[in-house]
Structures are given as C-alpha cells and as structure tokens.
Amino acid sequence: MAKGADDKKRAAAEAALVYVQAGAVLGVGTGSTVNHFIDLLPTVRDRITATASSSVASTERLVAHGFTVIPLEDVDTIPVYVDGADEVTDNLEMIKGGGGALTREKIVAAVSETFVCITDDSKCVDVLGTFPLPVEVIPMAQRHVARQLEALGGRPVLRDFITDNGNIILDVHGLRIARPAEFETQLDAIVGIVTNGLFAKRGADVLIVADDERVETITR
Ligand code: 5RP
C-alpha cells in the first residue's frame, strides 16, 4: 500500500535508532525527517547521555524531550550523526541545506565517525542538482558569489531566510552535478561562501531509505 512521505520519513527514522550508541554523544541533524528521529529518541533514552545538534530548531526539540545538548566546542568526536538529505545518490553523496542548517550540519558531519542519512525514497537520484543547491553566503558577498555561481552554470536565487549564523542563502537552480566532489571543491574556493550544500567529500556512511514496501539500509 502506498505510504505518505511523512510515514516513510518516520520509518527511516525508526530504523536509525539501532545506531544510537550507549554512553556516547549522539549527533542530531535538522529537518522534518530528523524531527521524527528526535521524537523517537525517548524510546532509547537509557542509551543517551548527551547530544550535539546542528541547529537551534533541533536543539529546542531535543531540550523539550529532556535531552542534554552540549556545544560542539566541547566535543572531540561524535561516533554517530543522524541527519536527513534533500537528494542522495547511490554513492551516498548528498545535497543538504533545504532547511538552511547546512553549515552546522557540515561541521557536525566533519567531526562524526559515522554519518547515518535517513530519508524517504523521493530523495534518491542518479545525478544531484534537480533540488536547488543551497549555498550559505556572507551577506556583503551576495553579488560577488552570485556572479561566480552563474559562471559555473547555475541560477542563484536569494532565499527569504537568515541562517542560525546570521548569513543569507542562495539556492542554485539549473545544475546537473556529474562530479559532486570536484564541484564541491570548486565552490569551496569562492570567497564569500561560508558553506555549500554538497556533502560529497564527506558523504554519508550509511543510507536508510524507506519506500512504500520496506526500509533499506545501504552502507558505503
Ligand atoms: C536541513 C537539511 C535537511 O536534512 C534536509 O533539508 C532534509 O529535510 P527534510 O527531512 O525536512 O526533508 O539539510 O538543512
């Protein structure tokens, strides 16, 4: 029977609970799929001593459930980080940042040993780029960055949004990203970009995808 997207997100989130390690700091991402994960965490409360979060919104949700959220500054390494994606390939490369939390998500991912991506099947693609690529930009660099993105073949559109870090987001339309890691490196070199939403150089290690019939786990 066909499931709604929300049911699939919840199923993927539930399947990720087995990755929660006892006594370790748990990395928690941002978005509607992760919100299901956070809402399910009380079922494994005995395993969780502390969490590290990638956004103000997730921090507030974790605190509302009674979990301790520690600043990433106080953490050397995170064994497991669970987060969603806007697009993901078979190689576990992703576009992220639809919720605007890409910079903190990339930082938490960088200090995590295992990145578990949870998603419904609508996010699975052969080639990244149909979902507009979010790019977080220092406000004064907006026009400069937009010109650079146009030169790379994209069509940047300013989002009506300010990030948790006080920056703007340009959503880049019209891309077909055949080599995500190379493109991520090119974007990393543009002055004024804080973070781009390509998670290819540090992709996911585990992908949990829910479709109408089942929940599948793919490991890198
Ligand atoms: C937030 C993100 C999210 O993981 C991504 O947008 C997926 O969100 P959702 O689970 O709501 O579909 O990168 O910045």
Condensed to tens digits (0 to 9), the pLDDT of residues 22-79 reads: 999 999 999 999 999 999 999 999 999 999 999 999 999 999 999 999 999 999 999 9
Model pTM score: 0.96
Identify the CATH number of the domain in which residue 52 sits: 3.40.50.1360
- DSSP string over 121-169: GGGB-SSBTSSPEEEEE-GGGHHHHHHHHHHTT-EEEE-S---TTS-EE
Q: Are residues 42 and 120 in the same domain?
A: yes
Q: Determine which residue's CA is closest to atom 5 belonging to ligand 1.
A: 85
Composition of the chain by helix, strand, coil, percent to 5:
35, 30, 35
Q: Total structural domains in the chain?
A: 2
Same domain for 110 and 178, yes or no, is no
Q: DSSP letters along 165-220, please?
A: TS-EEEEEES--BSSHHHHHHHHHTSTTEEEESEESTT--SEEEEE-SS-EEEEE-
**Do 87 and 143 reside in the same domain of the chain?**
no
Tell how far the Cα of 9 is from the centroid of ligand 1, in angstroms.
11
Q: Catalytic residue among 105, 113, 182, 184, which? A: 105
Same structural domain, 184 and 117:
no
User: Which residue, judged by its Cα, is nearest atom 7 of ligand 1?
Assistant: 85
Gap from CA of 203 to ligand 1 centroid (Å): 15
Say which DSSP state 69 is in.
Answer: B
192 and 210 fall within a common domain: no
pLDDT tens-digit series, residues 103-151: 999 999 999 999 999 999 999 999 999 999 999 999 999 999 999 999 9
CATH number at residue 142: 3.30.70.260
Dist. CA 88 → ligand 1 center (Å) = 11
Residues paired with 81 in a beta bridge: 27, 115
- Write b or e for each residue in 125-147: b if 16 or more Cβ atoms lie within 10 A of its Cβ, otherwise e: beebbebbbbbbbbeebbeebbe
**Site residues for ligand 1, CB cut-off 6 Å:** 29-33, 83-86, 96-102, 105
Both 104 and 24 in one domain: the answer is: yes
Asked if residue 40 and residue 59 are part of one domain, the reply reads: yes
Residues 116, 207, single domain; the answer is yes
**Tokens matching residue 58:** 């997730």
Rounded to the nearest 10°, the torsion over CA 59, 105, 24, 76 is -110
Residue 105 appears among annotated catalytic residues: yes
Domain span including residue 66: 5-124+201-219
| Residue whose CB lies within 8 A of the most ligand 1 atoms, among 6, 8, 33, 38, for a mutation test | 33
